[in-house]
């Protein structure tokens, strides 16, 4: 069964450092997402990406965040200067269409900022 894969599974970084979280969405999907879950809180939307551009972003997704699809398969989330409050599980998701279909999630990257 096709799946969304994320690397690394766990990333520890110093405050102020840049991190790149990587995702390989399901190959025939057209819509890509990043969500995050801070420990004990709900899963929250960060950004959606379609046709090589951001289609929607949340208030969380400020100038420190960026997304990219550098080739035909990878989808990355970059945090330029990490803060302690960026510590969370980051989930990549993809959907075959933008609406009315299920989103398939990766297993997540646990980001710990120290």
* DSSP symbol at 58: -
User: Residue 50 CB: number of other CB atoms within 10 A?
Assistant: 15
- Record the tokens describing residue 107, joined without a space: 């297993």
Near other proteins by CB under 8 A: residue from 36, 48, 61, 111: 48
* Contact pick of 36, 87, 94, 95 for other proteins (by CB under 8 A): 95
Binding to other proteins (CB under 8 A): which residues in 55-74? 55-56, 58
Quick check: 108 binds other proteins (CB under 8 A)?
A: yes
Place of tokens 């840049």: 18
Residue 45, CA distances (Å) to 33, 90, 114 in order:
8, 10, 24
Binding residues for other proteins (CB under 8 A): 4, 6, 31, 33, 35, 41-45, 48, 50, 55-56, 58, 91, 93, 95, 98-100, 102-108, 110
């Amino acid at each position: 069964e096709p799946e969304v894969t994320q690397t690394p599974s766990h990333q520890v970084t110093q405050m102020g450092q840049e991190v790149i979280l990587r995702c390989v969405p399901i190959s025939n999907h057209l819509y890509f997402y990043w969500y995050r879950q801070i420990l004990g809180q709900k899963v929250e939307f960060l950004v959606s990406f379609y046709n090589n551009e951001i289609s929607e972003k949340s208030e969380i997704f400020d100038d420190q965040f960026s997304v990219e699809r550098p080739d035909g398969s990878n989808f990355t989330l970059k945090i330029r200067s990490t803060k302690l409050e960026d510590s969370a599980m980051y989930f990549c998701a993809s959907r075959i269409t933008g609406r009315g279909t299920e989103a398939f999630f990766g297993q997540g990257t646990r980001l710990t900022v120290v």
